[in-house]
Structure 1
Amino acid sequence: MAILVTGGAGYIGSHTCVELLEAGYEVIVVDNLSNSNPRALDRVYEITGKKPTFYEVDLLNHAGLESVFRENEIDAVIHFAGLKAVGDSVSVPLHYYQNNVTGTIILCHLMQKYDVKKIVFSSSATVYGAPETVPITEDSLLSPTNPYGRTKQMIEEILKDIYLSDKKWSIALLRYFNPIGAHQSGRIGEDPNGIPNNLMPYIAQVAVGKRSHLNVFGAEYATPDGTGVRDYIHVVDLAKGHLKALDKTLNEVGVDAYNLGTGRGYSVLEMVKEFEKVTGVPIPYKIVEARQGDIAICYADPTKAKAELDWSAEKGISEMCRDTWKWQSLNPDGYVIEEKNLFL
């Protein structure tokens, strides 16, 4: 059974490719490599012994994407591809709407044309904005506070409308919280371009000596230590959640949303202390001004995913920190140039 994975060379995409291949699926990856590296797919092959099919294609390239559908018998799609930096989305909103929303529309047109009506969509907890209460359930108000989050909400609404127009579609909307960690082998992990936007890769780069200290944005929130609290989830748990959602879409029709999180929040300083404890590496930090739009507390209620997908997160923050450090310490410069590169 062949699964098309858009954005499959990225952080979450590559980990999901490992799980798909190990579960016996054929994997076809489409990625424009704008924020990913084909060497991640080399590592996927190294881990699994199975080689995904790779196309360097942008979703906005209708003809290029159609060739993927024409050349392969695709059974379902897992859709990761998209721009994802909140700050950038505020600076260049049109770029985000064009890439994320228009790219998805082109993808769905081709899925419809080639009668591929099963999709797992990589949404985000940003669709909730600043939650009125926690933990956040799937019925919570959707009120994203930035263009990135609004693109995710728009795509969710587009997919719901597609289902309303054709009840043969099967759609899972996965709203996940804060993915961190890496594959236990240390061979694939998060390799951000430039300055990391997220906490854990920033901590890891400080630990490996690439950065002098961690900036902690704000320490006056209404939390136990004043720093922001988030729901961190191991990327392998998250990848396994996609397989559970895929199984549902392959066997049922309908459209539904699921939170993928642990149901537990940790503050920035708790994460720093846990990383230091697990690795033995001190993480110097400075408290700086809070970022506009950041919220105090955000964590999931994952009850629905447990009940309907038979999925729950298994790995704790110690494992998240351990696997992050293994990846970063073995790959201090991320995916550096190697002699072997099967996908370029």
Structure 2
Amino acid sequence: MKKILVTGGCGYIGVHTIVDLIQNGYDVISIDNNSRSNAFILEGAEKITGKKIKNYRIDLCNFDDTRAVFEENKDIKGIIHFAAYKAVGESVENPLMYFDNNMTSLVNILKCMQEFNISNFVFSSSCTVYGNPDSIPVTESFPLRPAESPYGHTKQMGEIVVSETVKNGNNKAILLRYFNPVGAHPSTNIGEIPLGKPANLVPAITQTAIGKIPVMHVYGTDYPTRDGSCVRDYIHVCDIAHAHTLALHYLIENKNKTNCDVFNLGTGNGYTVLEVIAAFEKVSGVKLNYTLGPRRNGDVIAIYANNDKAKNELNWTPQYDIDQMMATAWKWEQKIKNDENFFGGKNAVLN
């Protein structure tokens, strides 16, 4: 089996991708310092796959510690790089922390990629690189507008760093610009565990419905959209995860046309915040307690994907609709609430 390194493997998308990789015949190791995640989530992945998963709890901003993992695993055939801070609001409040963490960790992992001659690199990018686009849906050829947050800037800069690094050499890369991952694995063994107050919509919805959050706030009711709230392209995390496996396979099989290619990962459908709330209320039967308020800094008005390129070249098609996204997210939230033995008895209080 080909060995793949997943950075941020204890994170939300990382752990789902580890499961998908293993189920498609890959051997996987993880690097995650658990500053924004918890290693217990790998127990859920092991239940699904029946495989033990090794995580190196190191900080990728420490080059020597990072390099030591490659020294120990000289048979790595590909890298999928998720590890990064990702909260838009937090990045607005503390931009230097985001620039330092997200860029230093990326540069260190790329140095190791070159030194140990690892040919295949998949970078976790984001639709935030498009900023506020002139029109939607966005294609990969759209010009990148100024990012609306420091987090978005780190993804734009990250794409440049990756593309320039692999431009003249034997390394190949794919940049995956995904939209808004939501939901949980249908087994309910893994899912999203926000640390502290959720920064993303769907965990805020489920935590409000379960009673962890007294009332949820909808930021912005005066946007030029169908109902005044922001429009986003929500996509199930398992669909996102499988796209990473397909992208890696695409590189390993030398199907890439250039040293660095880019793909949008979205359903191609835009939903407003209020439409997502309505979908959740329909599948859960729970009336959500929420209030309408002013806009939040860093949010774009509306964005959703044209995903034709990923469909045609990666042979990737999203499998989950918005109702299934909400249903799996709700089942996951209920599992955390009801299973006292979840994550070794730690329940949902993870630090």
What amino acid is the match of 1:81? A
Secondary structure of the residue that 2:58 maps to in structure 1?
coil
How far the C-alpha of 1:133 sits from its partner, in A, is 0.4
* 3-state SS of 1:160 partner: helix
- Preserved CA contact (<8 Å) 2:218 2:290: yes
Q: Give the distance between the partners of 1:242 and 1:6, measured in 2 at CA.
A: 13
Structure 1 position 294, deviation (Å) = 2.1
The one of 163, 168, 171 aligned to 2:166: 163
Partner of 1:197: 199
One-letter code of the match for 2:23?
Answer: E
Letter in 2 for 1:114: F
Q: C-alpha distance in 1, partners of 2:260/2:236? A: 25
Query: Within 5 A, what are the aligned runs for 1:193-232?
Result: 193-232=195-234
Which secondary structure does the structure 2 equivalent of 1:58 belong to?
coil
1: distance between equivalents of 2:270 and 2:280? 16
What CA distance in whole angstroms lies between the structure 1 residues aligned with 2:203 and 2:20? 22
Q: Does residue 1:127 correspond to 2:129, yes or no?
A: yes
TM-score (norm: length of structure 2): 0.94
Q: Is the partner of 2:166 in helix, strand or coil? A: helix
CA distance in 2, matches of 1:245, 1:41: 23
Residue 103 of structure 1: aligned partner: 105
Q: Tell me the secondary structure at the aligned position of residue 75 of structure 1.
A: strand
Q: Per-residue CA shift, 1:69-96, capped at 9, x if unaligned? A: 1111101000000011112112222211
Q: CA deviation at 1:292?
A: 2.6
- 8 Å CA contact retained: 1:170, 1:250: no
1:19 offset after TM fit, Å? 0.5
Is the contact between residue 207 and residue 281 of structure 1 (CA under 8 Å) also seen in structure 2? Answer: yes
CA-CA distance at 1:141 after TM superposition: 1.6
Residue in 1 aligned with 2:92?
90
Q: CA deviation at 1:185?
A: 0.9
- Over 3 Å counting, the alpha-carbon distance change for 1:133 and 1:262 in structure 2 is same
Q: Who is 2:313 aligned against? A: 308
Q: CA deviation at 1:338?
A: 0.7
Q: Aligned-pair distance for 1:293?
A: 3.4
Q: Matched residues in 2 for 1:78 and 1:332: separation?
A: 31
Cross-structure match for 2:23: 22
CA contact (8 A) 1:228 1:297 kept: yes
Q: CA RMSD in A?
A: 1.5
TM-score (norm 1): 0.96
The equivalent of 1:267 in structure 2 is 272
- For the 8 Å contact 2:148–2:299, the answer to whether it is kept is no
Counterparts of 2:91 and 2:274, CA distance in 1: 27
CA distance in 2, matches of 1:224, 1:60: 43
Q: Counterpart of 1:95 in structure 2: which amino acid?
A: M
Aligned to 2:79: 77
Which amino acid counterpart does residue 188 of structure 1 have in structure 2?
A: I
**1:318, CA displacement in angstroms?**
0.6
Q: Secondary structure at the match of 2:313?
A: helix
Query: Which segments of structure 1 move beyond 6 Å, counting only runs of 4 or more?
Result: none
Task: Report Cα offsets for 1:152-173 as digits up to 9, x if no partner.
Answer: 111111111112221x211010
C-alpha offsets along residues 245-287 of structure 1, whole Å, 9 cap, x if unaligned? 0111112252111100000001111111111110111102100
Q: Percent identity?
A: 46
Q: What displacement does 1:210 show?
A: 0.6
Task: Confirm or deny: 8 A CA contact 1:125 1:177 kept in the other structure.
Answer: yes
Match of 1:279 in 2: 284
TM-aligned CA distance change 1:42 to 1:337, over 3 Å:
closer
Q: Is the 8 A contact 2:89 2:298 kept in 1?
A: no
**Deviation per residue, 1:121-150 (Å, 9 max, x gap):** 000000011111000111112121211111
1:39 and 1:333, CA in 2 relative to 1: closer, same or farther beyond 3 A?
Answer: farther
2:49 aligned partner: 48
- 2:37 counterpart residue number: 36
State the alpha-carbon separation in 1 of the partners of residues 85 and 168 from structure 2: 28
Cα deviation digits, residues 319-338 of structure 1 (max 9, x gap) = 00000001000103999651
SS at match of 1:243: helix
Measure the CA separation in 2 of the matches of 1:147 and 1:63.
27
